[in-house]
Amino acid sequence: AQTVTQSQPEMSVQEAETVTLSCTYDTSESDYYLFWYKQPPSRQMILVIRQEAYKQQNATENRFSVNFQKAAKSFSLKISDSQLGDAAMYFCAYRTYSGNTPLVFGKGTRLSVIA
Amino acid sequence: EADIYQTPRYLVIGTGKKITLECSQTMGHDKMYWYQQDPGMELHLIHYSYGVNSTEKGDLSSESTVSRIRTEHFPLTLESARPSHTSQYLCASSPLSSIFHEQYFGPGTRLTVT
C-alpha cells in the first residue's frame, strides 16, 4: 500500500522569507499524481498545487512551487515570500494513476508565520 | 456558484442519539468522500463513493453508514453517537473529468457528543 510521510510536524518561517515543507512517499508505481493541500485554522481545505509524476517539470503556482524528485520519491513544497495568510496545516497527498483508490494523505505539517 | 456544502456546521448531541450529517455538491462530481479529523490532526477516510448506489468503507468506518441515492448528495449517519465520535467531519468530492481527480473539500461539521 502506498504511504505518504511528512517528517516535519511543525515548521515556522519569518514573514517574507522562504520555507520548504518535506514530503516523501512510497509506491511501486511509475505513474501517479501528487498534491499539496492547505488547511488554514478553522477554514476550508484547499488545493495548493498538483503534479503529474510523468512530467519532470516542477509545478508552480504563484509563490508556491514543488521540488519533485521521482527517483527519491520526494515531493517538497516551497513557499516564497511567506505571508501571514500562509499559516496553516499543509497536507501532502498521493493518488494512483488509475484513480480507483482515494487520495492517500500525509499526517500534515503545521506552518507558523512570524511577523 | 458551484460548491460543496455541509450541514450542520456545528452540532452538540447526547450519547446514543442518531444523527445524520449532510453533504451536497453542485459541481456534478461523481466521487465523494467522508473524512474524520481531530482539530489540527491527520485525516482519516471513513467512507467514499464513486457514483450513485456505490459506497465503500475507508480505514475508519466508525460505526457509521452512508448512502448515495443522488449524485449530488452523500449523507453520513451515526446510528448511536458516542463521545469518541467527537471530531470534525469533512466531506469532499472529485471530478472524473479531470485527470488529477483532485478533491474539493466542504467547510466541515464540528460534532460534539456529550
In SS3 terms, chain B reads as CCCEEEECCEEEECCCCCEEEEEEECCCCCEEEEEEECCCCCCEEEEEEEECCEEEECCCCCCEEECCCECCECCEEECCCCHHHCEEEEEEEECCCCCCCCCEECCCEEEEEC
- Checking if the pLDDT of A99 tops 80, the result is no
**Do B101 and A99 count as a contact with CB atoms less than 8 A apart?**
yes
> Please, what are the domains in chain A?
3-114 (2.60.40.10)
Q: Does A46 touch chain B (CB under 8 A)?
A: yes
Chain B partners within 8 Å of A35 (Cβ): 100, 102
**Do A45 and B105 count as a contact with CB atoms less than 8 A apart?**
yes
Position A115 scores a pLDDT of 95
Q: Does A33 touch chain B (CB under 8 A)?
A: yes
Query: According to CATH, what is the number of the domain B14-113?
Result: 2.60.40.10
pLDDT digits (tens, 9 = 90+) for B53-94: 999 999 887 689 999 999 999 999 999 999 999 999 999 999
